[in-house]
Structure 1
Amino acid sequence: MASVITKAVRIHANGGVEQLSYEDVEVGDPGAGQVRIRNTAIGLNFIDVYFRTGLYPAPSLPLTLGFEAAGVVDAVGEGVSHVKVGDRVAYCQGPHGAYAGYKLHPASQVIKLPKFVTDEQAAASMLKGLTVQYLFRQTYRLQGGETILFHAAAGGVGLIACQWAKALKVKLIGTVSSAEKAAIAKAHGAWETINSKTENIAERVSALTKGAKCPVVYDSVGKDTWMASLDSVQQRGLVVSYGNASGPVDGVNIGILAAKGSLFLTRPTLGTHVNTLEKLQAAADDLFAMVKSKKIKLEVASTYPLAEVGRAHTQLESRATTGATVLLP
């Protein structure tokens, strides 16, 4: 084995897309418990923007961005047995560095891909699909028959959620920001949609549920939808805040949970739900079973060359995207 020189997108300081630098980096041999992967498709996610801007602090700078990719195992380190050189694999958590042609990664966070999932589909869906898996099957295990509120229903996570909810016989009310996005969400299985730009979310939820509201609300938007989420959940219901697309929710007096009806609030992450290879594999098996049964279709809405990642970030931040975006090294 020998180290490789590859192109990567790094930041040397936090800030706007002008901080994204496309440059050469050296990727060494895998150590014990590691694999080296030749990335073929890279997932674009809002968490990448959070680390670029500094909303989430970088472990150190310069930093190669990205958590999610699919590719081929190029080399394996000592003690790795569940994957081998030549295997098609994917990952969606762990150390930064997916925005590159090659990456060293802990083998315990890598799974083999089934033949019916393409590399681009995997890069578009591993983080997003496993997010829906833990939201719907672990954080709050939907039983069927519920009516739920899911923000950003036409995004990459949202479109998988729409399909999964429909498969579970759950009525998903999805918030969107345009009529076009409403049509896309409904085509993917949303029961109803609410245009957050023109409608009062909580009032529409109350009307759609005949005043009953929802037992659980899934909120990846953050600051802009915080109060609407609290006002859309039933007494003793659960608000699942798992993202900050509009900015973080801060300065909250937890007494508001009592005032709104003894509500429960959680701020979960994927990493704490799939913190072992066994749990990661089980969650992925659940996702892939839904794909194989054709209850969920993994779609790639758009692709960009890795060198044009700034343009992709701009589109994502402006909420101009629908579905999943993939970067090609």
Structure 2
Amino acid sequence: MSEPYAIRIHENGGPDVLKKEAFEPKQPGPGQALVRQTAVGLNFIDTYYRTGLYPVKFPFTPGSEGAGVVEAVGEGVTDLKPGDRVGYVASGTYATHLTAPAASLIKLPDGIADEDAAAVMLKGLTAWMLLFEIRPVKAGDTLLVWAPVGGVGSLLVPWAASLGARVIAVTSSEKKAELARASGASDVIIGYDNVAEQVKALTDGKGVDMALDSVGKVSFEASLSSLKKRGWMVSYGNASGMADPVPPGRLAQGGSLILTRPTLFSFIDTPEALARGAKLLFAALQDGTLKAEIGQRFALSDVGDAHRALESGKTTGATILNP
């Protein structure tokens, strides 16, 4: 086994600012657990921290999800023991070890591999938040989903379809369109031109109930224009950059539209909420509704290459980093 290390950034910039550094894992204090990580998930939010879109204090260890094996627990921890396999959403997972509150670690059911958990914890709980918590999706709803074969999108599409929703997906290539159709999208729009017009044509001029938009700057107005009256605009990512400001009057002009910019951590801020989301996520994995679609793997020490692949749009599904 290699010596413990973490990937840290000391300044904002491109993938080259990600540096591998030796570190000493922190022993767990009261209510905490020490985990030896076996798999780490890669997410777009990691690039936001690296570039400075989301400011952080340096030195900073990126990473927002992972899975591993509990090595030690602190005083007062009774729900976990050394040897338990766990998955989690946590800060600083670009490392061989993680010390975190035990209440934030979810035991992995039998049949869910560590890599699968690391691939879906943040992304799967985000999909749960979007479909079940903000404006619960019901049978007969029509959704517009951008980036349908990305990390979150590859879970959103089949989960929404399983709930009886019609999914209109927007993606960048025929190859990705084929993947979106295979996962449950009813219709796929290829390219970002005239999206709203195509959506209206597909919905007999009505528009969609919800737009789930992770792209940001280049997609925001198209999403708003694709909504039906009283439709929900859910902006949850910035893959193309931050969306431009929107005056409240624009929502009125669109037909009393509802705009929200959710973050997952507002929805899993209690152990009960986290457990509720994880229960539904694991059940969807176990019954086959969802699959942990791992499109590519990188060594954690090669995380710079992983960031380049993600930002270039060359990845599909989830990306796993192996410590």
Match of 1:181 in 2: 176
* 2-structure distance, mates of 1:17, 1:152: 22
- Which of 72, 80, 84 is residue 83 of structure 1 equivalent to? 80
Match of 1:67 in 2: 64
Aligned residues of 2:292 and 2:318 also touching (Cα < 8 A): no
- 1:286-318 CA deviation, whole Å, 9 max, x = no partner? 011111111212221110001110110001011
Q: How does 1:1-329 map to 2 (within 5 A)?
A: 6-58=4-56, 60-93=57-90, 96-197=91-192, 199-329=193-323
Provide the TM-score with structure 2 as the length reference.
0.97
Three-state SS of the structure 2 residue aligned to 1:166 is: helix
* 2-structure distance, mates of 1:109, 1:140: 25
**How many angstroms does 1:252 deviate by?**
2.5
* 1-structure distance, mates of 2:273, 2:49: 26
Three-state SS of the structure 2 residue aligned to 1:296 is: coil
Three-state SS of the structure 2 residue aligned to 1:193 is: strand
Aligned residues of 2:298 and 2:322 also touching (Cα < 8 A): yes
Aligned residues of 1:42 and 1:123 also touching (Cα < 8 A): yes
**How many angstroms does 1:135 deviate by?**
0.5
Aligned residues of 1:224 and 1:246 also touching (Cα < 8 A): yes
Identity of aligned residues (%): 49
**Structure 1 consecutive aligned stretches of length 4 or more whose deviation exceeds 2 Å:** none
* 2-structure distance, mates of 1:5, 1:138: 41
* 2-structure distance, mates of 1:252, 1:149: 20
* 1-structure distance, mates of 2:160, 2:244: 30
Aligned residues of 2:148 and 2:154 also touching (Cα < 8 A): yes
Three-state SS of the structure 2 residue aligned to 1:172 is: strand
**How many angstroms does 1:213 deviate by?**
0.4
* 1-structure distance, mates of 2:269, 2:78: 19
**How many angstroms does 1:263 deviate by?**
0.7
**How many angstroms does 1:147 deviate by?**
1.1
Aligned residues of 1:11 and 1:63 also touching (Cα < 8 A): yes
* 2-structure distance, mates of 1:187, 1:240: 24
Provide the TM-score with structure 1 as the length reference.
0.95
* 2-structure distance, mates of 1:305, 1:269: 28
Three-state SS of the structure 2 residue aligned to 1:61 is: coil
- 1:38-77 CA deviation, whole Å, 9 max, x = no partner? 000000000000000010011x211111010000001111
Three-state SS of the structure 2 residue aligned to 1:284 is: helix
The count of aligned residue pairs is 322
The residue identity in structure 1 corresponding to 2:297 is T
Three-state SS of the structure 1 residue aligned to 2:118 is: helix
**How many angstroms does 1:5 deviate by?**
5.7
User: For structure 2, which runs of at least 5 residues remain unmatched after alignment?
Assistant: none
Aligned residues of 2:36 and 2:96 also touching (Cα < 8 A): yes
The residue identity in structure 2 corresponding to 1:209 is T
* 2-structure distance, mates of 1:274, 1:176: 29
Three-state SS of the structure 1 residue aligned to 2:24 is: strand
**How many angstroms does 1:251 deviate by?**
3.0
Aligned residues of 1:67 and 1:98 also touching (Cα < 8 A): yes
**How many angstroms does 1:261 deviate by?**
1.4
Aligned residues of 1:5 and 1:27 also touching (Cα < 8 A): no
* 1-structure distance, mates of 2:7, 2:281: 29
- 1:248-271 CA deviation, whole Å, 9 max, x = no partner? 123322221112211110111111
Aligned residues of 1:222 and 1:246 also touching (Cα < 8 A): yes
Aligned residues of 1:174 and 1:192 also touching (Cα < 8 A): yes
- 1:139-174 CA deviation, whole Å, 9 max, x = no partner? 110111111101111101111111101211111111
* 1-structure distance, mates of 2:113, 2:246: 43
* 2-structure distance, mates of 1:278, 1:84: 20
* 2-structure distance, mates of 1:83, 1:103: 15
* 1-structure distance, mates of 2:165, 2:181: 13
- 1:92-131 CA deviation, whole Å, 9 max, x = no partner? 13xx210000111111211000111101101111111111
* 1-structure distance, mates of 2:78, 2:140: 42
The residue identity in structure 1 corresponding to 2:42 is L
